Amino acid sequence: MIELDGLVRRYGEREALSDVSLSLAAGQTLVVFGPNGAGKTTLLRVLSTLLRPHSGEVTVLDRRLPQDAWAVRGRVGLLGHEPLLYRELSARENLRFHARLHGVGEERVEELLAAVRMRDRAQEPLRALSRGMVQRVAIARAVLHDPELLLLDEPRANLDPAASELVEPLIGAASSRTRVISSHDPGGGLSEADLVLGLRAGRPALLREAGDVDPEEIAELYR
Amino acid sequence: MSAKTKTISGKEGQVGTTQAIRALLRKELLVELRTLESVPGMSLFAVTTFVVFHFALNQNSVSGDEAAGILWVTLLFAAMLGVNRLFVADEDQGGFDAFLLAPVDRSAMLLAKALALLAYLLVLELVAVPAFGLLLLGPSLGQALPELLVVLVLADLGVAVIGTLVAALAVRTRARDLLGPLLALPLLVPVVIAGARATSPLLGLTHAEHPPARWLLTLGLYDLVFGLIAYAVFDFLLED
């Protein structure tokens, strides 16, 4: 599903990701830990095809990047720090726009608005909604096209416990999708992970099966 | 039932370009209707400029070359306001990323944005041209209107394509408000020259029946060349 071999990504002279290698099978969950600026978001953006790898080999959904990026787009759902939604449009208008871009029927929009309990507020512009509500709409947007691979950057940020439970069938283990999640929560992250990657200054400092990882090792990444 | 009802076009799983253009254009117009950030500003700028010219020239009316020059320079600067705003919502609110993640041809965004800008320009002219006729123009606009429309549409096509190309280039830079006009104005000088030369006989005291064909041809050729250039390079402007 995902194969990385010596992935390097730079911003100017600075290496944001350096020599990252790993393998993730279909249906598994990779959780990426690391302090701010460690390269977690960059890794998700490379996997989503938004950023090109500068060296190394990257295979996502059995396709090489960046050559076959066109074949990966539309099969990946990205939930980043930004909701990728227009503030002046309502939740329904935003989701309908994305549905058209992905060739998805409008009934799916209504289904997801109901799933994230946003039907009552679906007509209001996003700028009038709370951050938690916008995050719920963003989650609906990320899974709108039923992607095989979910790339989630701190997906439960801004969500209260009830909302977090609400989106579990969409982005949690119950969704039965392959997932790459960036997290700052060692307890919560470990419970979801099959594989754990710890990044420090763009370099892998920890790569192990989740069962073999001590939460203290994750805490160590942030010191 | 599967959530996906995809139109296959070219590459496997890709959504049809026409469908993507429709979706993008609809979104573009909806956002403009909600924010009113571009068209009212463009129109107000044009009308205000005509008022300023009216007093600055200390003349009750203008005609011929002078009238054509004032009209085209004003329309060009008013268009710059729309060009500068064209991609701002996409850049600031993640619309670029959302679009790049979708399985659609990148040229869909070029076409949708150019069509949106074309629509803004047409609305601008709907306000600006009658205001020009009222505030500055000596000869009656009525007779010249059908020919003037042809010149305006041909010039608008060029402004829309070049404006979209330049706006896409400038929006990802820190100096986007400066870079957009700096890049666009030199590229649009031929459009202004051809537009003004084609318009001048129509706004003269003795009204000509047709605008000179060679200037219309120049405008058409310029539209075509920049249309092809924009189509060829637009992908590279969007990709990492």
B36-92 confidence digits (pLDDT tens): 999 999 999 999 999 999 999 888 789 899 999 999 999 999 999 999 999 999 988
Alpha helices in chain B (DSSP H): 17-35, 39-56, 64-85, 88-93, 95-101, 107-135, 145-170, 176-199, 213-238
Give domain status of residue B6, yes or no. no
Sheet holding A55-60, edge to edge: A14-24, A2-11, A55-60, A63-65
> Span B119-140, mean pLDDT?
93
Answer whether A91's CB lies under 8 Å from A138's CB: no
Comparing alpha-carbon positions, the chain B residue that sits nearest to A49 is: B101
> Span A194-209, mean pLDDT?
94
> Span A195-209, mean pLDDT?
94
pLDDT score of B3 more than 50: no
Measuring CA to CA, how many Å separate B130 from each of B67, B123, B208? 13, 12, 19
pLDDT score of B10 more than 60: no
> Span B186-195, mean pLDDT?
96
Q: Does B11 touch chain A (CB under 8 A)?
A: yes
Digit-coded pLDDT (tens) for A141-191:
999 999 999 999 999 888 999 999 999 999 998 888 999 999 988 888 888
Of B13, B31, B239, which has the smallest distance from its Cβ to A74's Cβ? B13
Answer whether B171's CB lies under 8 Å from B88's CB: yes
Q: Do B11 and A73 touch (CB under 8 A)?
A: no
CB count in 10 Å sphere of residue A72: 25
Q: Which pLDDT does position B212 carry in this prediction? A: 84
Query: Would you state the structure tokens that stand for residue A106, as one six-digit string?
Result: 């409008």
On average, the pLDDT of chain A sits at: 93
Q: Which pLDDT does position B4 carry in this prediction? A: 47
Taking the mean position of all CA atoms in its chain, how far away is CA A156?
11
Q: Do A103 and B97 touch (CB under 8 A)?
A: no
Q: Does B15 touch chain A (CB under 8 A)?
A: yes
| Residues on chain A touching B1 (C-beta within 8 angstroms) | 105, 107
Digit-coded pLDDT (tens) for A127-140:
999 999 999 999 99
Q: Do B34 and A105 touch (CB under 8 A)?
A: no
Q: How high is the ipTM of this complex? A: 0.90
Q: Which pLDDT does position B2 carry in this prediction? A: 44
| Residues on chain A touching B12 (C-beta within 8 angstroms) | 71
Domain count, chain B: 1
| Residues on chain A touching B38 (C-beta within 8 angstroms) | none
> Span B5-22, mean pLDDT?
69
pLDDT score of B13 more than 70: no
| Residues on chain B touching A105 (C-beta within 8 angstroms) | 1, 3-5
- Tell me which residues of chain A, numbers 65 to 94, contact chain B at a CB-CB cutoff of 8 Å: 70-71, 73-76, 78, 80, 82-89, 93
- Tell me which residues of chain B, numbers 176 to 235, contact chain A at a CB-CB cutoff of 8 Å: none
Whole-number percent of chain B with pLDDT over 90: 69
Digit-coded pLDDT (tens) for A1-40:
899 999 999 998 899 999 999 999 999 999 999 999 999 9
Whole-number percent of chain A with pLDDT over 90: 83
Taken in order A179, A182, A185, A187, the sign of the CA dihedral is positive
End-to-end CA distance of chain B: 36
E strands along chain A, which residues?
A: 2-11, 14-24, 29-33, 55-60, 63-65, 76-79, 149-153, 178-183, 195-200, 203-209
Kindly report which listed range (A218-222, B119-123, B188-192) carries the lowest average pLDDT score. A218-222
Q: Do B31 and A89 touch (CB under 8 A)?
A: yes
Residue of B101, B106, B172, B239 to mutate, interface with A, max A Cβ within 10 Å: B101
Q: Which pLDDT does position B7 carry in this prediction? A: 42
The letter for the amino acid at B170 is A
> Span A87-110, mean pLDDT?
96
| Residues on chain A touching B104 (C-beta within 8 angstroms) | 101
CATH class of A2-75+147-221: alpha beta
Of B12, B100, B104, which has the smallest distance from its Cβ to A50's Cβ? B100
CB-based contacts of A3: which residues, under 8 Å, 6+ apart? A22, A23, A24, A57, A58, A59
What is the nearest CA distance from B44 to chain A, expressed in angstroms?
23
Task: Give the separation between CA B240 and CA B235, rounded to whole angstroms.
Answer: 10
Q: Does B112 touch chain A (CB under 8 A)?
A: no
Residue of A76, A88, A89, A148 to mutate, interface with B, max B Cβ within 10 Å: A88
* Domain containing residue B90: 17-238
What is the nearest CA distance from B212 to chain A, expressed in angstroms?
43
Which residue's structure tokens are 């070219």?
Answer: B10
pLDDT score of B9 more than 80: no
Answer whether A216's CB lies under 8 Å from A32's CB: no
Task: Give the separation between CA A191 and CA B19, rounded to whole angstroms.
Answer: 42
Q: Does B173 touch chain A (CB under 8 A)?
A: no
Q: Which pLDDT does position A105 carry in this prediction? A: 93
> Span B109-126, mean pLDDT?
97
Q: Which pLDDT does position B119 carry in this prediction? A: 97
pLDDT score of B194 more than 80: yes
Q: Choose among B98, B100, B103, B99: nearest CA to B14.
A: B103
Residue B186: cis peptide before it, omega within 30 degrees of 0:
no
Quote the DSSP letter at residue B129: H
Comparing alpha-carbon positions, the chain A residue that sits nearest to B7 is: A103
Instruction: Count interface pairs A-B at CB distance under 8 A.
Output: 111
Kind and range of the H or E run holding A219: helix A215-221
- Tell me which residues of chain A, numbers 163 to 222, contact chain B at a CB-CB cutoff of 8 Å: none
Cα angle for residues B153, B159, B165 (degrees, 5° grid): 140
Task: Give the separation between CA A194 and CA A27, rounded to whole angstroms.
Answer: 10
| Residues on chain B touching A144 (C-beta within 8 angstroms) | 3
- Tell me which residues of chain B, numbers 78 to 97, contact chain A at a CB-CB cutoff of 8 Å: 89, 93-95, 97
